[in-house]
Amino acid sequence: MHLIRVAGCALNQTPLDWDGNRNRILAAIAAARDAGASILCLPELCITGYGCEDAFQSPGVQRLALEVLGEIVPATRGIAVAVGLPIRFESGLFDAAAFVVDGTIAGIACKQNLAGDGIHYEPRWFRPWVRGRRGTVPVGDRDVAIGDLRFACGGIRVGFEICEDAWVADRPGAALAARGIDLILNPSASHFAFDKDEIRRRFVQDGSRAFAAGYVYANLVGNEAGRAIYDGGVLVAAAGRMLAAGRRFSFADRVLTVADVDVDALRLAQCRLAVEPVADAVEGDRIDVPFALSRVTSPVVAPTGDARDAWEYGGHVKEEEFTRAVALGLFDYARKSRSRGFVVSASGGADSSAVACLVAIAVRLAAGELSVVEAARRLGLPVSDAVADDAAHRLVPATLTCVYQATANSGDVTRSAARGLAEALGATFHEFDIEAIVRGYEAIVSRAIGWPLSWDRDDVALQNIQARVRSPGVWMIANITGALLVATSNRSEAAVGYATMDGDTSGGIAPLAGIDKAYLRRWLRWLEQGGPEGIGPIPALAAVNVQAPTAELRPAASGQTDESDLMPYDVLDAIERAAIRDKQTPLESWLRLCGEFRGHDSQQLAAWTERFFVLWSRNQWKRERYAPSFHLDDENLDPKTWCRFPILSGGFTRELADLRAAVAATA
């Protein structure tokens, strides 16, 4: 048995944080060396950060990346490390991984397949490397090999698939297997999405089997640049067997995962592999590195093992993933934006209650993993002796402030629900009476236009002024405390513009804007009754969950609810998926609804379908102005990362005429 110890490390990096990114890389190298690893794989573009956007094109950024690489190289004595950075070669910029061995850059492997769909914009900045191409690039005072390379390192042949390379049909790993490979390193920046972890596990495990190789996949962790959340989850497999899986959704700066790979078992699998070998003399792609890998003489029993938490095996994986992803995203967004906590305009309804719960959960999870003192430090909060010596819940009042703002149309039910939830979470709670401010604006405008405002004629204006008057007060609290104001709108509201700009859309982050209202309500019921592993239920949500969602902006006698204003949320979400995710016309969307919602009259379904398309096209400008939202799945409506639509359009006029004609024909 010939064992070598390999490692992958998830890193929480920040774009253009040169010293911070370098220091976390150096800490990961030191930790891997201490763990006895000979080879370490770090995430994609970890020197610069993955989310640098157009800053990648800056010659200064490219120079600094090489400068920081030079600062990392001396720390690799006694270990081989794959570290990601952008590299300029001839007239193009490439997404690359430098293979640094024992204090020397052995060569630079380049990404062959770029991600250009949905949230990804890699072809805007990088060029795909052509398979088989090789060259040299000046790095410091020497020329370094670059391109489609493999490395012979201490008798072990090492090659690369970089993130997207592993997601395509014609994976570079197949060509590497044909050229003889023992270990594939995959530096990745693979953002979180529901159910995505199982896909990653399959391509890592299946790749190791198909290529008869060891496979190390390393990912980012945390909210790196604002919209994407990375869940970490380093994976190590060999010859079709998963050896180790790192923890996901960690609040730590780094999560190291190690495993021992049996080279003799790999060589046996390679003997059985039916591939057409390629001669080195023809390929000329192998870089021989004079470095002896440490052999593992006393293997650690399951050095890391499968570090998945218990919740990943339960029956509420999506609810747990949503909770942990958004909690991590909020915590990281606050600390990286240098905000000291969070402010939520608490209405007593589902959306603001969900946001408040997610913030409180984020604080508890961070404090539980990092310690109360460290969680407070990362949020820039002073740590009193009482907080430092007590449980995590003592940190919540300093981190979360909820503000209920009442008008004449506010009811005791929502007021009580908001206060009860804040008390249950341990949040600081304020109640503002803003009725006089609302009346003041109404009087100013009435005098200016020369007639009194009325609900019959000025319904929208009278509703919106209440929502907008709520914005300055919570902004003021946020400014005074240096905290982050969190917007509360969800994806269903964003689709149809059912939100008041500069009112309930106010904030620096919109964590729910990627989640539909129907799912959010199910999640709140789960949170009330069961809750996430290690946190438990929040029974105070019962007062929220019993209510029908309402903006509570019209007089109570009107019986206003969100669904009476719009349509049933399950219907709205079904139309959105058909129209926006699946790009169906109004007629096609209606026909789908008729099959899915047989309990509703077909003409009513047609009216709701038309309402959706009209409101969708009319309100693109609102979606353009929303605060940044988290990307959670392929149903995101964020125009800056996923779903582009013209601000000005024909409004589906012809398509809606086709719908009306079809409905009339069935009457």
Residues 168, 76 within the same domain = yes
Residue 370's pLDDT is what? 94
Q: What angle do CA 628, 632, 636 make, to 5 degrees?
A: 65
Residues 551, 573 within the same domain = no
Two structure tokens written together for 147: 């391109």
The one-letter amino acid at 567: M
Average pLDDT value for residue range 224-233? 96
Residue 394's pLDDT is what? 78
Residues 379, 297 within the same domain = no
Query: Under a CB-based contact definition with an 8 Å cutoff, are residues 426 and 398 in contact?
Result: no
Number of domains comprising the chain: 3
Query: What phi-psi label fits residue 583: left (phi over 0), alpha (psi between -120 and 50 degrees) or beta?
Result: left
Residues 296, 441 within the same domain = no
Average pLDDT value for residue range 456-481? 96
Last residue of a domain, which of 517, 546, 563? 563
Residue 170: burial class (beta carbons within 10 Å; 0-12, 13-18, 19+): exposed
Residues 273, 335 within the same domain = no
Q: Nearest 5°: phi and psi at 105? A: -80, 110
Q: What angle do CA 370, 371, 374 make, to 5 degrees?
A: 75
Two structure tokens written together for 122: 């890699």
Residues 110, 155 within the same domain = yes
Split at pLDDT 50, 70, 90, the class of 667 is confident
Residue 425: burial class (beta carbons within 10 Å; 0-12, 13-18, 19+): buried
Q: Please say if the pLDDT value at position 333 is more than 50.
A: yes
DSSP-assigned beta bridge partners for residue 92: 89
Give CA–CA dist 665/667, Å, rounded. 6
DSSP-assigned beta bridge partners for residue 81: 40, 100
Residue 301's pLDDT is what? 47
Residues 327, 267 within the same domain = no
Domain span including residue 640:
567-667
Q: Please say if the pLDDT value at position 381 is more than 50.
A: yes
Average pLDDT value for residue range 568-597? 97
Residue 391's pLDDT is what? 59
Residues 299, 414 within the same domain = no
Residues 277, 344 within the same domain = no
Indicate whether this model's pTM tops 0.75: yes
What is the Cα 157 distance to its own chain's centre? 34
Two structure tokens written together for 594: 């008729």
Q: Nearest 5°: phi and psi at 574? A: -65, -40
The one-letter amino acid at 572: L
Residue 424's pLDDT is what? 97
Q: How many CB atoms lie within 10 A of CB 337?
A: 12
367 three-state secondary structure:
helix
User: What are the tens digits of pLDDT across the range 628-644?
Assistant: 999 999 899 999 889 99
Question: Average pLDDT over the chain, rounded to whole?
Answer: 94
Average pLDDT value for residue range 333-348? 96
Residues 193, 235 within the same domain = yes
Last residue of a domain, which of 563, 578, 610? 563
Residues 322, 461 within the same domain = yes
Residues 321, 281 within the same domain = no
Q: How many CB atoms lie within 10 A of CB 25?
A: 27
User: What are the tens digits of pLDDT across the range 298-332?
Assistant: 665 444 567 778 898 889 999 999 999 999 999 99
Last residue of a domain, which of 308, 340, 364? 308
Residue 209: burial class (beta carbons within 10 Å; 0-12, 13-18, 19+): middle
